[in-house]
Structure 1
């Protein structure tokens, strides 16, 4: 994780510090959910195992009342290589929560986080580029324009662009009927991206 992403995560914790710790997590009686760790552990001590069922169920079989409290930790865990949580799903939950209508401090902190994530694509080769870009597709209407950062001549940008090229929009979390997916694929198959990919491959021969 880049220093900018790390700082943005800290700011996210600060912006959401007023979200109360839940005392109960209402959920469907048809679904099992171990709420003990969620209600007793310090937020930053929660593991992906603690939050796995929660991140799948919130807004579906779990009410959304507790989402603001857990959000900073959920987002932070997406940057942990060992985590099994789905980055795409967590970002989609944020979109489902209508993040652009959050109170200003929360909205600005999350926007700064997104800006840092996009900037990191040119600074750091990442193991989950295709997953993260898929998630960003549910959050950023201008994602293709922002992804032009990957056309830069840095080792990280080259590596991340090749990852997206080879994945070819195949992530299963994409809504392939959505305008966001259509815009992303149009960018991915654009002449500018095609030419840049050729340049990268030619330098590696």
Structure 2
């Protein structure tokens, strides 16, 4: 009887150990696997992968440092914009340029305000878990100054962020049945327009 108990105990340890080794989140694994390849012309860092769901990889589960709580990308205007000088084979309309120096303000469910954070030249922004570890849901708004240099404008998110730290999970590409569309500053391109980043002034431009 004692030997039988020992065998069952050993089997239980083996099975539980195997379960721990095999533990994972298939839904997240699939989303990570579906991400496009890195752009070889853009170094890995704060400028890479604009428009992609950063927290998928920059999380305790994903394993990439730094571990982020909130991250996203902000663009100039809503929807596609005319391509000023399309080369042969290029589309006549392209994604709007990203916007730098856009301030992002957030409050969590306990009313705790996020530290100051702003977009870089490819429109990316993020806060690490060490900087701010919010309790969801989270309120968010952005503040920016249009190119003509008039007074700063604010735009608030219509709904609260419920639990997804990657803003680009929902704000991905143009608005359609599967996306609420990019986060943008203005409904249409102002005159003068937002200047897109160039290689000369932004490490994240291919």
TM-score by length of 1: 0.24
Greater C-alpha radius of gyration = 2
Q: Which has the higher strand share?
A: 2
TM-score calculated relative to the size of structure 2: 0.24
More helix by share: 1
